[in-house]
Amino acid sequence: MRWQGQELGVADDNALPGMEQLDGLVRSVTTPEFAGITFHEVAAKSALNHVPRSSSMPFDWTINPYRGCTHACVYCFARGTHEYLDLDAGKDFDSQIVVKVNVDEVLRRELAKPSWKREHVALGTNTDPYQRAEGRYKLMPGISTALAESGTPFSILTKGSLLRRDLPLLKRLHDQVPISIAMSIAVYDDELQQAIEPGTPTAQARLDTVRAATDAGFSVSVFMMPVLPHLTDSPEALDAALARVKAAGASRVVHGALHLRPGVKPWFMRWLARKHPELLPAYRGLYPGASVNAPQAYRTMLSQRIRPLIRSHRLDGRDDQDPWRRPSFASTPAPAPARIITTARGRAAAKAPAPEPAGLF
């Protein structure tokens, strides 16, 4: 690996971001309770990551205490980032976890700088801060406390029910700074969830966490992302999922179709060939060649299907503190508007967009 065997005090331009010059040796750890997983403990040089201006993300700063993720979601868009470490985007991403063991200490130094403007910081935008590794390393309480004590608002996006451990702390910190919480729940069928997200808590465990966070006084969003073509996108499946989300007390839902980045697509397609070979032709049609996003036509169809359901379940609420509400973020494009034409008699009439070709989806 690029960062293995670095000497103390030696800078390496190819090292992990924030670890170009290590303050301590890299140590690799395996434990019986995490069979098959190796933790690479590193001393990070920086904690705050500035989001490139070219990014469409609606925030400017993130913190990632871990790289790699034991949730092992087959579709995870962050898989390709492991290739920068000379690790693969498949099994290594699930089992070779980089842990920034000193992240809260480094963060406090950065937050104390006069140049820090107390801008919003997003947690959980790359790999999950409440993945199983957090049960061992307990980095999030220190991170959350450091942010709040510096007056820095922050948000947490997670699939982890381990969030419940920190709810009493987060409730206290919420009195000091705005804190937004979102739970990612893409799959509500238990069999499919265990096949495609084998390291995650069940959908019900996550819904129970939504309820616990709501009872603690938070307005909780649920991310139904990604919606999987032909697997989770039927009107019946979407309606049933939204009913469960509403019953858990969530205030709103953010949705988006599956996208397959280069480091993710081969891994996902191999999984699909094993588990649902009958869907391979459809997915090759939706994501041909190097295509990352589903076609505009599919995304428009999905929006037209799910948005009325979101409204009917009253899950389109707004949270002014939520960074995902910035105009620069849109999970899916709005449906194409009706086009106004003039009839032969001179009356205005609305013409709906042309229907999509049969069999496309």
Query: Which tens digit of pLDDT belongs to each residue from 255-297?
Result: 999 999 988 999 999 999 999 999 999 999 999 999 999 999 9
Q: Higher confidence at residue 323 or residue 83?
A: 83
What DSSP element (H or E) covers 28? strand 27-29
DSSP state of 323: G
Please report, as a single letter, which amino acid is at residue 172. Answer: R
Which pLDDT value is given to residue 99? 94
Mean pLDDT of all residues in the chain? Answer: 84
The answer to whether residue 22 sits within a structural domain is no
Average pLDDT over residues 290-309: 95
Which pLDDT value is given to residue 353? 36
- Asked whether residue 101 carries a pLDDT value surpassing 50, the answer given is yes
Residue 83, CA distances (Å) to 28, 67, 154, 286, 328 in order = 18, 11, 29, 25, 28
Which pLDDT value is given to residue 105? 96
Which pLDDT value is given to residue 146? 98
- Closest to 299 in 3D by CA, of 245, 336, 272, 327: 336
pLDDT digit string, tens, across residues 34-76 = 989 999 999 988 999 998 876 666 778 999 999 999 999 999 9
Positive/negative CA dihedral, 311, 314, 319, 320:
positive
Asked whether the whole model's pTM tops 0.85, one would answer: no
Average pLDDT over residues 88-110: 92
Average pLDDT over residues 325-331: 39
Average pLDDT over residues 216-241: 97
What is the band of 154 on the pLDDT scale with cuts at 50, 70, 90?
very high
Buried b (16+ CB within 10 A) or exposed e, 261-284: bebbbebbbeebeeebeebeebbe
Which pLDDT value is given to residue 56? 66
What is the band of 327 on the pLDDT scale with cuts at 50, 70, 90?
very low
pLDDT digit string, tens, across residues 165-215 = 999 999 999 999 999 999 999 999 999 999 999 999 999 999 999 999 999
- Asked whether residue 361 carries a pLDDT value surpassing 70, the answer given is no
The answer to whether residue 118 sits within a structural domain is yes
Q: Which of 85-89, 181-185, 241-245 has the lowest mean pLDDT?
A: 85-89
- Asked whether residue 90 carries a pLDDT value surpassing 60, the answer given is yes
Domain containing 299 — which CATH number?
3.80.30.30
The answer to whether residue 9 sits within a structural domain is no
Q: How many domains does the chain have?
A: 1
The answer to whether residue 4 sits within a structural domain is no
What is the band of 341 on the pLDDT scale with cuts at 50, 70, 90?
very low
Average pLDDT over residues 233-252: 98
What is the band of 114 on the pLDDT scale with cuts at 50, 70, 90?
very high
Which pLDDT value is given to residue 80? 82
Residue 249, CA distances (Å) to 6, 130, 237, 243, 331 in order = 48, 21, 19, 10, 22
Q: Is 181 helix (H, G, I), strand (E, B) or coil?
A: strand
HSE-up of residue 56 (Cα within 13 Å, Cβ side): 6
Phi and psi of 22, rounded to 5°? -75, 145
- Closest to 190 in 3D by CA, of 250, 240, 117, 151: 240
The answer to whether residue 358 sits within a structural domain is no
Which pLDDT value is given to residue 286? 96
- Asked whether residue 148 carries a pLDDT value surpassing 60, the answer given is yes
The answer to whether residue 15 sits within a structural domain is no
Q: Is 147 helix (H, G, I), strand (E, B) or coil?
A: helix
Task: List the domain range (segments joined by +) for residue 140.
Answer: 27-351
The answer to whether residue 2 sits within a structural domain is no
Q: Higher confidence at residue 14 or residue 31?
A: 31
What is the band of 318 on the pLDDT scale with cuts at 50, 70, 90?
low
Residue 277, CA distances (Å) to 39, 114, 120, 284 in order = 34, 56, 43, 11
What is the band of 1 on the pLDDT scale with cuts at 50, 70, 90?
low
- Asked whether residue 357 carries a pLDDT value surpassing 50, the answer given is no
The answer to whether residue 87 sits within a structural domain is yes
